[in-house]
Amino acid sequence: MDEKAVRQKIIDIIAEIAIDEDLSNLDDNVKLRDQLDLDSMDFLDVVMELKKRYKIEVPTEDYPKLATLKSCIEYLGPSFH
């Protein structure tokens, strides 16, 4: 799956969780928490959705790798088929 498709899948998950937010101008290099009103519960929601939708497990020690869209794509990319 190419980077663009992976990015879209991640944004689809964030869109369901950060329902009130405009996601059209996200900067891939800036921390998601600095661009959106997201807290720790939201990140747990992201992790749970990855597991539910794509059977991707993110161990606790890897949570920092979900900080930016860029790091999400790099980290999760290989897990998407």
Q: Using CB under 8 A as the criterion, which residues of the chain lie in contact with other proteins when the complex forms? A: 17-20, 37, 41-42, 44-45, 48, 51-52
Amino acid at 18: A
Looking at beta carbons only, is 2 or 61 nearer to other proteins?
A: 61
Residues contacting residue 76 through CB under 8 Å, at least 6 positions apart: 6, 10, 50, 56
Amino acid at 6: V
Looking at beta carbons only, is 18 or 72 nearer to other proteins?
A: 18
Cβ of residue 13: shortest distance to other proteins, in angstroms? 13
CA angle 27, 33, 77 (to 5 degrees): 60
Cβ of residue 81: shortest distance to other proteins, in angstroms? 20
Cβ of residue 28: shortest distance to other proteins, in angstroms? 22
Looking at beta carbons only, is 17 or 67 nearer to other proteins?
A: 17
In 3D space, the residue among 15, 2, 26 whose CA is nearest the CA of residue 77 turns out to be 2
